[in-house]
Amino acid sequence: MSLNDLSDDFPICNTLNYLNAASIGPVPQSVIDFSTSFSAEIARGGTKTLSEEKEDMVYDGLRDEGGKLFGCSPEDVAVFNSVSEALNCIAWSLELDKGKLISTNIEFPSVTYPALRMAQKEKGITTKLVSAVDWHVPVEDILEEIDETTKAVFITHVENLTGQVHDIKRISERAHEVGAMVIVDGIQAAGYIPLDVKKLQIDAYITGSYKWLCSPFGTGMAYVSKELYDKLTPLFVGWRTAEEIWDFDPNVINYPSTARKFEYSTSAYGVKLGMVESIKYLRNIGIDKIYEHDMKLDGILREELGQIEGVDIITIDEHGPIVTFKIEGRDSREINNRLRNLERPVELSVRLGLIRVSPHLYNTVEDIAQLIDGIRQVV
Ligand SMILES: Cc1ncc(COP(=O)(O)O)c(C=O)c1O
């Protein structure tokens, strides 16, 4: 399958220049059809369409695909409904009452908030948000903060605003020297970076559906290392927190012996099946090919942007396919409005006064050329 001919699967590409996967990744049309018709069938048919076997199949299917995506066993995958939910479920299950929690002052709020909230609750917990320097956080500054008092590091694999790729392996190695956990939010990485969570040596790796995985809203999942889930008791529990969920035993909690122990409730099954299909779709193309493609577009974009006078590129060299920039003396929102009003509108994001462009598998070299043309016109 050619990466340059996906407009049938992503019809939005026929009407506009969509460069916003870091916000929302469009879902392949076949997955939209499959997922919505599954949801509609359940809505119409109740248990006539959703048997217990089918319900198991949805979760098993997502754990299987999760295992292939993360590079781990399906037993090490837990299904959630969002990244924020997964981060909280894992973080609170650490049941910490003292120690230092580390993150950065440029992270997406869902990454820092569980740590900040835990520190509000327990007097013995402190937080250290390592400061960004020119919008980036040097790995050395994070490593320097990790000491014997550190209990956990909360960090993204790829930072949402600038696309900085954090050196997760180095952070994990240092954290493990002092017995601290590394909990990684990979929603801005999974879908284009070939993952090997074991190599990264992390304790938990969480991702959500609706960005680079091109899946419907409302689902997520996490790799949790066996060492971690063997140690933890989930703080939130529900009927699915059982080795045999269909026994419905209200007298005792028989925790599953795998990462599944973090799952607790029913959810939107059609959406979860949609995520299964989208991951299959991406893996069928090849995550490594998608990485190559996305980074090629990113490279052209950086090169061309660098030649436009007044453009200040924020994104550093170690980055994913996210390019963030501003234009001297210009309001980024005004630039965005002008780009949205081009004959072929460009769709991207403005965050904290910066313009963020995030091409993905459905974009082409022509899309980047059109964006550059548009920026030249506007400037
Ligand atoms: C790094 C990061 N984490 C989490 C989220 C959103 O998480 P949730 O699935 O809870 O909406 C975003 C959305 O922009 C994000 O960029």
Ligand 1 and 187: CB distance under 6 A: yes
pLDDT tens track, the chain, 379 positions: 447 689 899 999 999 999 999 999 999 999 999 999 999 999 999 999 999 999 999 999 999 999 999 999 999 999 999 999 999 999 999 999 999 999 999 999 999 999 999 999 999 999 999 999 999 999 999 999 999 999 999 999 999 999 999 999 999 999 999 999 999 999 999 999 999 999 999 999 999 999 999 999 999 999 999 999 999 999 999 999 999 999 999 999 999 999 999 999 999 999 999 999 999 999 999 999 999 999 999 999 999 999 999 999 998 888 999 999 999 999 999 999 999 999 999 999 999 999 999 999 999 999 999 999 999 998 8
Distance separating alpha carbons of residues 358 and 197, to the nearest angstrom:
24
Distance separating alpha carbons of residues 201 and 184, to the nearest angstrom:
11
What pTM value is reported for the model?
A: 0.96
Secondary structure class of 316 (helix, strand, coil): coil
Q: Which residue's CA lies nearest to atom 14 of ligand 1?
A: 23
Q: Which residue's CA lies nearest to atom 16 of ligand 1?
A: 160
State which ligand 1 atom lies nearest to the alpha carbon of 159: 1
Using the mean position of ligand 1's atoms as its centre, give its distance from the Cα of residue 53 in Å: 31
Ligand 1 and 108: CB distance under 6 A: yes
Using the mean position of ligand 1's atoms as its centre, give its distance from the Cα of residue 108 in Å: 7
Ligand 1 and 162: CB distance under 6 A: no
Ligand 1 and 83: CB distance under 6 A: yes
Ligand 1 and 158: CB distance under 6 A: no
For each of the domains in the chain, give its residue range(s) and CATH number, in order of start. 11-19+286-378 (3.90.1150.10), 35-284 (3.40.640.10)
Beta-bridge mates of residue 349: 356
The encoded tokens of residue 83 equal: 């990244």
Using the mean position of ligand 1's atoms as its centre, give its distance from the Cα of residue 304 in Å: 29
**What pLDDT is attached to residue 4?**
66
Residue type, 291: Y
Asked if residues 374 and 342 have their Cβ atoms less than 8 Å apart, the reply is yes
Using the mean position of ligand 1's atoms as its centre, give its distance from the Cα of residue 373 in Å: 31
Distance separating alpha carbons of residues 152 and 107, to the nearest angstrom:
15
Asked if residues 138 and 187 have their Cβ atoms less than 8 Å apart, the reply is no
Ligand 1 and 82: CB distance under 6 A: yes
State which ligand 1 atom lies nearest to the alpha carbon of 220: 9
**What pLDDT is attached to residue 1?**
42
Of 187, 217, 219, 356, the one to substitute when testing ligand 1's pocket (max ligand atoms within 8 A of C-beta) is 187
Ligand 1 and 164: CB distance under 6 A: no
**What pLDDT is attached to residue 86?**
98
Ligand 1 and 216: CB distance under 6 A: no
